[in-house]
């Protein structure tokens, strides 16, 4: 009874992206609605731009009609095979004539046969009379239309407000401390810049970003984020450390417990070869709860996370074990989600529904052991000058999840450890 398209998710996505980041609504399906021009025209007239998809055994022939308003329309005829699309513009025609007889391109639904003029052979690679099994017609709409964008902006404002007014669990601390850990080049500093940019209202670049081998973040940094509108400090601090490395150049494993417990001061310069010791000049001997790390976010580049070396995977698992021992809740941030296969800006609105993202989360769960519900995808600001609400929503949603995770950590603390907060 359900009326669904024959297109696979990937096929539909290739077409949607090809014609300009569209979304398709199936209006007519020949095997359900009769192989008749009447059945098609009744459903598809006055529906705005449409795309007709015709399935032969070996390839798809399609016709994209951009403007339903005009009596005569130009049609983009295309052939879609594997992931390749060849196209040819023809017209103008009266749209209804395409489903009657016509000289260059016509579809005879009753006979399940179409005709393509030899004139288009050079561009399309096919011509003549071609039998088909199925015909579907879709309305084409912009994936990121005004309505959806309004919803996204509203959601962004709601998230901003929720984070501005957020109070850590039980008022045990005034600010939540979130530590970013990840391989060099994963996007930790870019994420920092993105968060700062969102609250400032325009793109900023305080945390240096680079791709040097040893990483530009060789110091421990605790970033207080200012709320641009009110110049108030926000209720969280993002902590950035030296990147992880397979070799001896990255963050020293022995430093991690000290970071978690709050012994390491802002701007401490890490030494790859040896951890901080209590004897160090800047060592914080008696850190308070507010100095500790309340949530850890592993940051990975979504594109390279499946290709981490065995050494890196092993190191990440050792760190996880250390975090569990310290009771610190941890999540995963996958950056650069926009560079995954087929992902467009409009997809960010419903990003967890996209097949490549689902597969990526499953892969991270399988390889690194993180529960999928603790994995968030974001896109960092790297080259833009102005903010994009769809990007902001991803970053803010991830941030809110981290704050909630930190609340879980604070709630789980033994009572004795919270006493130190009594002023």
Binding stretches for another protein (CB under 8 A): 1-4, 25-27, 32-33, 42-43, 46-48, 139, 141, 145, 147-148, 150-152, 154, 317, 320-321, 323-324, 327, 329-331, 352-353, 365, 369-374, 401, 404-405, 408-409, 411-412, 414
Q: Least distance (Å) from another protein to the CB of residue 3?
A: 4
Q: Least distance (Å) from another protein to the CB of residue 26?
A: 6
Q: Least distance (Å) from another protein to the CB of residue 203?
A: 26
3-state secondary structure of 123: helix
Q: Least distance (Å) from another protein to the CB of residue 109?
A: 15
Q: Least distance (Å) from another protein to the CB of residue 284?
A: 25
Q: Least distance (Å) from another protein to the CB of residue 165?
A: 13
Minimum CB distance to another protein smaller for 27 or for 207: 27
Minimum CB distance to another protein smaller for 202 or for 366: 366
Minimum CB distance to another protein smaller for 304 or for 353: 353
Q: Least distance (Å) from another protein to the CB of residue 56?
A: 24
Q: Least distance (Å) from another protein to the CB of residue 106?
A: 23
Minimum CB distance to another protein smaller for 125 or for 151: 151
Q: Which residues of 345-357 are buried (b: 16+ CB within 10 A; e: fewer)?
A: ebbbbebeebebb
DSSP state of 280: S
Q: Which residues of 115-130 are buried (b: 16+ CB within 10 A; e: fewer)?
A: bbbeebeeebebeeeb
Would you call 300 exposed, middle or buried from its count of C-beta atoms within 10 A (0-12, 13-18, 19+)?
A: buried
Total residues belonging to the chain: 423
Helix axes 355-368, 310-326, angle to 10 degrees: 80
Minimum CB distance to another protein smaller for 274 or for 321: 321
Minimum CB distance to another protein smaller for 25 or for 233: 25
Residue among 4, 153, 3, 126 at smallest CA distance from 59: 126
* Distant-in-sequence contacts of 125-132, Cβ < 8 A, 24+ apart: 125/79, 125/86, 126/59, 126/61, 126/79, 130/56, 130/61, 131/56, 132/54, 132/55, 132/56, 132/61
Task: Specify the DSSP element, H or E, that contains 364.
Answer: helix 355-368
Q: Least distance (Å) from another protein to the CB of residue 153?
A: 10
Minimum CB distance to another protein smaller for 57 or for 414: 414
- Report how far residue 138's alpha carbon sits from residue 364's, in angstroms, rounded to the nearest whole number: 35
Instruction: Find the angle CA(24)-CA(46)-CA(86) to the nearest 5 degrees.
Output: 45
Minimum CB distance to another protein smaller for 24 or for 223: 24
- Report how far residue 403's alpha carbon sits from residue 176's, in angstroms, rounded to the nearest whole number: 7
The answer to whether residues 61 and 130 touch, using CB atoms and an 8 Å cutoff, is yes
Residue among 52, 68, 176, 147 at smallest CA distance from 105: 52
Minimum CB distance to another protein smaller for 38 or for 202: 38
Q: Least distance (Å) from another protein to the CB of residue 38?
A: 10
DSSP state of 183: B
DSSP state of 119: G
Minimum CB distance to another protein smaller for 120 or for 335: 335
Minimum CB distance to another protein smaller for 215 or for 389: 389
Q: Least distance (Å) from another protein to the CB of residue 349?
A: 8
Q: Which residues of 47-70 are buried (b: 16+ CB within 10 A; e: fewer)?
A: bebbbbbbbbeebbbbbbbbeeee
């Amino acid at each position: 009874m359900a009326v669904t398209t024959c297109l696979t998710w990937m096929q539909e996505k290739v077409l949607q992206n090809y014609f300009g980041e569209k979304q398709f609504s199936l209006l007519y399906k020949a095997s359900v609605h009769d192989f008749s021009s009447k059945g098609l025209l009744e459903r598809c007239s006055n529906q705005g731009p449409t795309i007709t998809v015709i399935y032969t055994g070996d390839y798809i022939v399609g016709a994209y009609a951009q403007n339903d308003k005009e009596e005569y329309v130009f049609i983009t005829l295309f052939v879609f095979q594997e992931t390749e699309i060849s196209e040819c513009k023809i017209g103008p025609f009266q749209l209804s004539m395409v489903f009657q007889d016509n000289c260059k391109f016509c579809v005879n639904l009753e006979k399940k046969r179409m005709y393509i003029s030899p004139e288009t052979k050079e561009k399309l690679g096919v011509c003549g009379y071609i039998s088909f099994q199925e015909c579907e017609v879709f309305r084409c709409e912009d994936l990121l239309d005004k309505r959806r964008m309004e919803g996204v902006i509203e959601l962004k404002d709601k998230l901003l407000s929720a984070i501005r007014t957020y109070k850590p669990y039980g008022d045990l601390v005034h600010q939540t401390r979130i530590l970013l850990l990840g391989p060099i080049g994963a996007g930790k500093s870019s994420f920092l810049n993105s968060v700062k940019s969102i609250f400032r209202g325009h793109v900023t670049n305080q945390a240096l970003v680079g791709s040097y081998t040893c990483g530009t973040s060789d110091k421990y940094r605790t970033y207080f984020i200012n709320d641009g509108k009110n110049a108030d400090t926000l209720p969280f601090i993002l902590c950035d450390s030296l990147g992880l490395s397979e070799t001896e150049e990255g963050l020293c494993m022995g430093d991690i417990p000290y970071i978690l417990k709050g012994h390491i001061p802002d701007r401490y310069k890490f030494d790859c070869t040896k951890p901080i010791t209590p004897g160090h000049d800047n060592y914080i001997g008696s850190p308070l709860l507010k100095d500790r790390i309340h949530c850890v976010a592993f940051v990975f580049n979504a594109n390279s996370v499946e290709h981490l070396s065995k050494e890196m995977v092993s190191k990440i698992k050792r760190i996880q074990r250390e975090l569990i021992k310290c009771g610190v809740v941890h999540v995963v941030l996958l950056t650069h989600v926009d560079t995954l296969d087929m992902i467009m800006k409009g997809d960010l609105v419903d990003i967890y529904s996209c097949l490549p993202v689902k597969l990526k989360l499953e892969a991270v769960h399988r390889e690194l052991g993180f529960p999928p519900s603790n994995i968030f995808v974001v896109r960092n600001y790297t080259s833009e000058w102005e903010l994009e609400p769809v990007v902001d929503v991803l970053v803010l949603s991830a941030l809110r999840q981290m704050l909630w995770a930190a609340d879980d950590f604070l709630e789980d603390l033994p009572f004795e450890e919270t006493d130190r907060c009594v002023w």
